[in-house]
């Protein structure tokens, strides 16, 4: 929580310097839907950690990394460079 509180003024300064603009139209609705999806995903992940041992939940949580990479590759045409892949493979190996 403190990280959010301390970074908000800094993010505001960067936004104002870059020409802050309120989202509108389809972008606004996409942001609202994405925020709701992230809220529920984090909520269910918190429930999983509360009801199960972290040793069972953490590997599933780590596997989100691969869905994030896939989505960023499909939607943003961005893939991690070669220096990131050894770490990604270590996370995958640890999750197995």
Helix (H, G, I), strand (E, B) or coil at 96: coil
Reading the block at residue 78, the tokens are 């961005």
pTM of the model: 0.58
Helix 54-62 and helix 64-76, axial crossing angle in degrees, nearest 10: 20
The DSSP call for residue 82 is T
Residue-level pLDDT, tens digit, the chain, 96 residues: 678 788 888 888 888 888 888 888 898 999 999 999 989 988 988 898 899 887 788 777 777 787 888 888 888 888 888 898 898 888 878 777
Cβ 27 vs Cβ 33: under 8 Å? no
Closest CA to 96 of 63, 73, 66, 49: 63
Please state the domain extents for the chain.
20-51, 53-96
């Amino acid at each position: 929580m403190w990280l959010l509180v301390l970074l908000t003024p800094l993010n505001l300064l960067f936004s104002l310097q870059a020409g802050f603009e309120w989202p509108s139209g389809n972008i606004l609705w996409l942001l609202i839907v994405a925020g709701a999806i992230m809220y529920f995903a984090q909520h269910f992940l918190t429930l999983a950690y509360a009801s199960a041992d972290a040793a069972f939940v953490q590997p599933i949580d780590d596997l989100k990394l691969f869905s994030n990479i896939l989505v960023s590759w499909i939607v943003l045409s961005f893939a991690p460079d070669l220096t990131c892949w050894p770490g990604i493979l270590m996370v995958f190996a640890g999750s197995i």
